[in-house]
Amino acid sequence: MPQTTGAARASAHRSDGQYNLVWRTSTCSSASCASAGDVRATDRTSLPNLRDPRDPMLLKMLSMRAPAVAAARKQLSPALLSTARAQNPSVFFDISIGGQPSGRLVFELRADVVPKTAENFRQLCTGEAGVGKFGKPLHYKGSKFHRIIPNFMCQGGDFTRGNGTGGESIYGEKFADEKFALKHEGVGVLSMANAGPNTNGSQFFLTTVDCPWLDQAHVVFGKVTEGHDVLKAMEEQGSQSGATRAAVVIEDCGELKD
């Protein structure tokens, strides 16, 4: 897991409603995160609410959520998980980079743990929910990954505005955090982007490293099961600002049936 010294790493929520996740570090003891942590000083302006994990207010918020997280994990018995996981939905994204087909990402959605969050993503993959209140199809097809930071994450799901300030869930514009039982461990974790507590819509992100500081702030609801090479190719299009070198687009998406 990447390590930092004198670091500030947290999820940041903008006052303009943009769904931003931030990794900020001054120095890094791991070669794997040497390029990832350097969010430049100019980002202080664009991300005014960036908080150090040692910030007393942030620590208080995390401590308040900790009992609920522990209780949720106790409810997940191995036998129950084994049976339920066999019925979890599998969905896909067909990705293009710079207009060229780049392969398929396949996800397992953890409906056994967070059914409401998983169902939101599943229906946004199939498009079966129709048109949302903003007059746009509730569908990821044709939307882009608007923010990619190497050695951190790839963020997408804003099919209404395409810039990180929009999106809509199948339940209405936003819905509550369901459960913080699953962790941001490893590559390809699928988690909800948000603009603060209980502001889940359609935006999501895929991790490319361990991100434990996000565990009690963002709801994990799935993981990449196929296409890690595609995720790596997507990550290579990113930058420290999050701007992509070439457009990374979900050309098609849907549910895989047995």
Residues 6+ apart with CB under 8 A from 80: 112
Question: Is 240 labeled as catalytic in the residue annotation?
Answer: no
Q: Which of 214, 221, 231, 237 is catalytic?
A: 214
Instruction: Compute the distance between CA of residue 126 and CA of residue 26 in angstroms, rounded to an integer.
Output: 42
Among residues 205, 206, 216, 237, the one annotated as catalytic is: 205
- From the list 18, 120, 151, 194, the catalytic residue is 194
From 123, 151, 155, 200, the catalytic residue: 155
Point out the catalytic residue in the list 218, 221, 231, 237: 218
Burial 130-156 (b: 16+ CB within 10 A, else e): eebeeeebbbbbebbbbbbbbbbbbbb
Whether residue 218 lies in the annotated active site: yes
Active-site annotation holds for 194: yes
Positive or negative, the CA dihedral 226, 231, 232, 234 is positive
Active-site residue flag, 214: yes
Residue 118's Cβ-side half-sphere holds a number of Cα atoms within 13 Å equal to: 21
Give catalytic status of residue 216 as yes or no: no
Which residue among the candidates 92, 121, 145, 152 is catalytic per the annotation? 152
Given the residues 13, 51, 110, 147, the one annotated as active site? 147
Asked about 62 being catalytic, the answer comes back as no
Chain-centroid distance, C-alpha 257: 24
- HSE-up of 247 (CA within 13 Å, CB side)? 13
User: Is there a catalytic annotation at residue 228?
Assistant: no
CA distance 42 to 84: 46
Residue positions annotated with a catalytic role? 147, 152, 155, 194, 205, 214, 218
